[in-house]
Amino acid sequence: MPTPTLTWAQLRDVKCAELEGAADGWGRSSNRADVARDRIEQQLLTGLRDTQEGEAAQAAVARLRQLGRNFQYVYTECGLLRTTLNSLAHEMRTQQRALTEALEDAAALKFTVHANGSVTYPAGGEGLVDGAPLRGGTASSGGATGLTPPSGLVAPNPHAAKAQDIADRLCGAVRSAAEIDWRYAGILRRLKAEEGLKVPASTWKDAAGDAAEVRDAAGAYLKDAIPHDASPEARRDWWAGLTQEQREEYLAVYPDQIGNLDGIPALVRDAANRDNLQLLIGKLEGRDDERSMTQLAGLREIDRQLGAAPKPGEPPMLLLGISDEGNGRAIVSYGNPDTSKNVATYVPGLNTSLDEDFAKNDLKRARDTALATRDIDPSSAMVAWLGYDAPQLLDGRDSLAVMGNEKAETGGRSLNSFMGGLVATNDNDDPHMVAVGHSYGSRTVGAATQQGGGIPAVDDIVLVGSPGVGVDHADDLRVGKGHVFVGAADNDLVTKVPSKLQGNMGAAAGPVGYIVGGLLDRGDDDLWFGKDPASEAFGARRFRTDAGPSVVAGGFDAHSLYFDRSRADSVSSDSIALIAAGKAGKIKVEEPR
């Protein structure tokens, strides 16, 4: 850092209000860009798609989408400029206060503060020999000058230490202000866009870097106030208590944190995550490692779906969480969970990660279930929740995790936090909440029920394709056995994995071995993670499912068909929709095993 040339007089005269005024101007530009983007996406694109067809219409849609992305970029960058200037004013004002307090102390003591920051103090005290006042002097932060070092016969001037303290405080404020000025000048120089009307992927990559730099700089100004360790209810109240300007700044600078903070309203999370999605795409763009490329494909597919016009009668698609943490995080709701009476959360399991398969297939399961549920009760929403690292069967680093409880326990804590956030922001007096666990996701749901007071406000639990949930009876899931529903296809081997005792031979051959070991199940009702949820001993309500293709005909396909509404026999997906809509009395039941 270059040697600062700032003086205390210049620091005193800095007009922080003018910096904040400039920040307000950038904020207005950011808001105008946001309004323009919304108008394009909510009005122009929708109207064009609904009324026009052909190549010209398609070309117009493509141009409007590009314009919308440009406005999104303007919104992001102007928001970053606003926060940078506000944060600069905040830090400078802190140093001004320190300077003012030092100057006021000097004036009260009748000390003289010089332009170079040195402080002259008067004579004072009494000499030990003649009793005469000790001479005054000048203190500076680099050391006191004009002082006679005390000896056994000379007492120090009582003003000297006070003058030295004031000089040090003056110097500290000026040095800190110079560092702040130098640091923010660099940030502001780098906050600039490429020329032209198109915002390419490389520009979003730069925007991701800009956001990270501003986040680092604005830590004391914004980040430290985010209630990460608070309850979902406290976070909801914190957000409600912010001014509109404060909310806009948090959304511009910390979309990743606001968008993934349980207890923040769904529409706010969606807006934050849509912006963070673009920053993540820019961050991963151009990387050639397998993890980045896999996640980038998933992010792009989610982005494509968010940009597509919903068909008439379809629920809105809200992005409630997105992150590249671990194997990736993505939480998507079909329908607004804050306004819906019925809210179901689907937890996927084995082999699920933020990739193109999740974005296409797992999201389709949630979307199809939402459509079926809304046909029963329009006040319904379905959430696909990938808020944890599910075990990856063929991942050499992680392949044995499917046999353990650690990921389920960790995921269960995150699921409880998320469900607590849904309850905190729901507008209904008594919403109907459902947790749906598929495959290892059912084990994660089971783990969530055993932590704290169980899954917040959940009324019903649905378990499909389950290898066990970690408990031996439906009553242990804390919703009452009459509110636990199980679907287990006859040809789904995952629902027949042997108990740990039985599975020793299969486990020795690895995860595939222990699943195939299900063919050797001795016929009792113990599975890898406890009692078979479809067994009579477990005590849940089993609903009918299609048997699915045999292992010979379809491999493990039977494990993935519980949500499939395209099959001739959609009895399983119908039952899930009825339970999610609060109409469990209408499901078609089946005898337990």
Residue with tokens 């095993």, as numbered in its chain: 593
- Tell me: the pLDDT tens digits for 101-120? 999 999 999 999 999 999 99
- CA–CA dist 487, 588 (Å, integer): 11
More confident residue, 198 or 53: 53
The tokens of 570 are what?
Answer: 């959609």
Predicted local distance difference test score (pLDDT) of residue 131: 64
DSSP secondary structure code for residue 54 in this structure: S
**What is the pLDDT at residue 210?**
78
Residue with more model confidence, 152 or 344: 344
**Where is pLDDT greater, at 221 or 492?**
492
The count of C-alpha atoms lying within 13 angstroms of the C-alpha of 178, restricted to the half-sphere facing its C-beta, is 16
Q: Give the pLDDT score at 395.
A: 54
**Cα dist. 212→206, 215, 326 in Å?**
10, 5, 19
pLDDT of residue 574: 95
Interval 262-271: pLDDT, tens: 999 999 999 9
Question: Tokens standing for 429?
Answer: 């007096």
Structure tokens belonging to residue 221: 């100004």
For residue 157, what pLDDT band results from cuts at 50, 70 and 90?
Answer: confident
pLDDT of 390 reads 92
**Each residue of 128-145: pLDDT tens digit?**
656 677 888 899 886 444
Across 21-35, 126-140, 394-408, least confident range: 394-408
pLDDT, averaged across the chain: 85
Lowest mean pLDDT among 1-15, 392-406, 431-445, 550-564: 392-406
C-alpha dihedral (508, 509, 511, 515), degrees to nearest 10: -100
Q: Is the pLDDT of residue 513 over 70?
A: no
What would the mean pLDDT of 539-564 be, rounded to a whole number? Answer: 82
Task: Give the mean pLDDT of 508-516.
Answer: 44
Candidate from 19-23, 120-124, 400-404 with smallest mean pLDDT: 400-404
154 or 451: which leads in pLDDT:
451
- 458, pLDDT greater than 60: yes
pTM of the model: 0.79
**Does position 544 have pLDDT exceeding 60, yes or no?**
yes
Buried b (16+ CB within 10 A) or exposed e, 167-181: bbbbbebbebbbebb
Q: Is the pLDDT of residue 357 over 80?
A: yes
Residue 498, pLDDT score: 61
Over the stretch 227-255, which tens digit does the pLDDT of each residue have?
Answer: 999 999 999 999 999 998 889 888 888 89
Report the pLDDT value the prediction gives residue 212, as an integer from 0 to 100.
77
